[in-house]
């Protein structure tokens, strides 16, 4: 992973730019940061940020601390704590508030309680759902603790990438011949090759491309280069600070290379393709529930079930099931919530409130939920 420019620590000396790498003296900081992440499992990203802010007071360069923390986030899995769709939760609360001014905790809790009752969830779950779509409200569901020493080398690798991200040209010298490596270099730009017999030299004129694309290609190139027994890199770098000045940036295996470690090479095993039977999707898809289950966006869920479904926003339903559900509702003996809930459950509906609202029904909630009246919006009670 490449570090953002603002987190890369460098020194400029005349026409040279030097990356400031982490060393063994920073191991204690790395261990502290790993502990902070580990202790904040099940906390929000916002709470983690507050804890990390204290680490900036330990006497190290704040860019170093933030850079290490930035990379450690890659070892985390973040999940939304929302029980219902946050946008729907906010709209419901705003409607419940109306034009009233909420000026006390008790009044706020009463509003939340009434909305939570509607969705059959706790006030606590509703409160967590209100802004569950914000990054700072995401929960750290897991943290895969890295080895501190190995992680320090991965950080240095990212620092080098961060500087190379501004390269205009590269001169790479290495021993031996490697056509796959040279092929990878051609993805960065025009390559000129020379061979002295003792070493092979590649001159790469970096072509213009998106930053993310360049970062990926540089990552792969440098990872391959690190595995070689002897190599060095010299590059012309445009000033990361934004000026038009150019700098020279160099590093080699014998010095900086020992401080770095890239991605582990993945072993790909070709397996015979397995013919899978097409599995029919569910008749009703709760988009919010499915997105949480898959850890994906609403749009991705909808794209997966795009064919054969009617989109009701929070709900996807097949035309056949839609007609069946409508008929079941019309054939119910009364329009009380308990009756319709049982009717819909017999149709395989797990969330009757969501389905009723999607089909244009409203629920006039009673203290006894089962006796609440369900009616079609616009047709009167």
User: How do residues 214-238 score in pLDDT, each as one tens digit?
Assistant: 888 899 999 999 988 899 999 999 9
pLDDT of residue 296: 65
pLDDT of residue 202: 92
pLDDT of residue 266: 42
Between residues 35 and 197, which one has the greater pLDDT? 35
Q: Is the pLDDT of residue 264 over 60?
A: no
Between residues 279 and 60, which one has the greater pLDDT? 60
pLDDT of residue 292: 66
Integer Cα distance of 64 and 300 in angstroms: 36
pLDDT of residue 278: 46
Integer Cα distance of 79 and 19 in angstroms: 35
Name the nearest CA neighbour of 97 among 83, 112, 84, 118: 112
Q: What is the mean pLDDT of the chain?
A: 85
Integer Cα distance of 185 and 196 in angstroms: 19
Q: Is the pLDDT of residue 1 over 80?
A: no
Q: Is the pLDDT of residue 273 over 70?
A: no
Q: Is the pLDDT of residue 279 over 50?
A: no
Answer whether 184's CB lies under 8 Å from 220's CB.
Answer: yes
Q: Is the pLDDT of residue 362 over 80?
A: yes
Q: Is the pLDDT of residue 81 over 90?
A: no
Answer whether 136's CB lies under 8 Å from 45's CB.
Answer: yes
Q: How confident is the model at residue 280 (pLDDT cuts 50, 70, 90)?
A: low
pLDDT of residue 342: 87
Lowest mean pLDDT among 46-55, 69-78, 285-294, 366-375: 285-294
Section 182-194 average pLDDT: 90
Integer Cα distance of 232 and 230 in angstroms: 7
Answer whether 62's CB lies under 8 Å from 20's CB.
Answer: no
Tokens of 73: 């986030």
Domain residue spans in the chain?
5-77+145-259, 86-132, 284-376
Integer Cα distance of 70 and 7 in angstroms: 9
Give the 3-state secondary structure of residue 125.
helix
Q: Is the pLDDT of residue 271 over 70?
A: no
Section 291-296 average pLDDT: 67
Q: How confident is the model at residue 99 (pLDDT cuts 50, 70, 90)?
A: confident
């Amino acid at each position: 992973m490449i570090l953002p420019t603002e987190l890369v620590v460098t020194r400029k000396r005349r026409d040279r730019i030097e990356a400031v790498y982490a060393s063994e003296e920073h191991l204690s900081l790395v261990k502290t940061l790993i502990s902070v992440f580990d202790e904040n499992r099940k906390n929000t990203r916002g709470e983690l940020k507050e804890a990390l802010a204290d680490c900036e007071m330990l006497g190290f360069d704040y860019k170093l601390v933030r850079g290490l923390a930035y990379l450690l986030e890659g070892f985390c899995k973040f999940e939304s704590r929302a029980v219902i769709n946050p946008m729907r939760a906010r709209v419901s609360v705003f409607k419940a508030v109306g034009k009233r001014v909420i000026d006390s905790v008790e009044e706020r809790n009463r509003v939340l309680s009434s909305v939570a009752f509607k969705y059959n969830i706790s006030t606590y779950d509703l409160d967590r759902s209100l802004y569950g779509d914000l990054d700072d409200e995401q929960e750290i569901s897991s943290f895969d603790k890295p080895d501190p020493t190995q992680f320090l080398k991965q950080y240095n690798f990212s620092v080098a990438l961060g500087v190379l991200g501004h390269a205009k040209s590269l001169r790479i010298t290495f021993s031996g011949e490697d056509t796959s490596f040279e092929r990878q270099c051609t993805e960065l730009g025009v390559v000129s090759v020379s061979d002295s017999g003792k070493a092979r030299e590649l001159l790469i004129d970096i072509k213009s491309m998106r930053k993310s694309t360049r970062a990926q290609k540089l990552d792969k190139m440098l990872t391959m280069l690190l595995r070689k027994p002897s190599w060095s890199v010299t590059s012309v770098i445009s000033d990361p600070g934004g000026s038009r000045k150019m700098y020279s940036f160099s590093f080699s295996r014998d010095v900086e290379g020992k401080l770095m470690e890239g991605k582990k090479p993945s072993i790909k095993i070709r397996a015979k393709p397995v013919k899978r039977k097409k599995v029919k999707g569910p008749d009703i898809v709760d988009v919010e529930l499915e997105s949480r289950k898959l850890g994906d966006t609403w749009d991705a869920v909808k794209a997966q079930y795009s064919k054969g479904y009617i989109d009701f926003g929070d709900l996807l339903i097949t035309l056949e099931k839609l007609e069946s559900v409508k008929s079941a509702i019309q054939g119910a003996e009364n329009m009380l919530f308990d009756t319709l809930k049982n009717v819909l459950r017999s149709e395989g509906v797990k969330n009757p409130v969501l389905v009723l609202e999607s089909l244009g029904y409203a629920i006039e909630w009673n203290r006894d939920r089962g006796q609440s009246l369900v009616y079609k919006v616009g047709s009167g009670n």
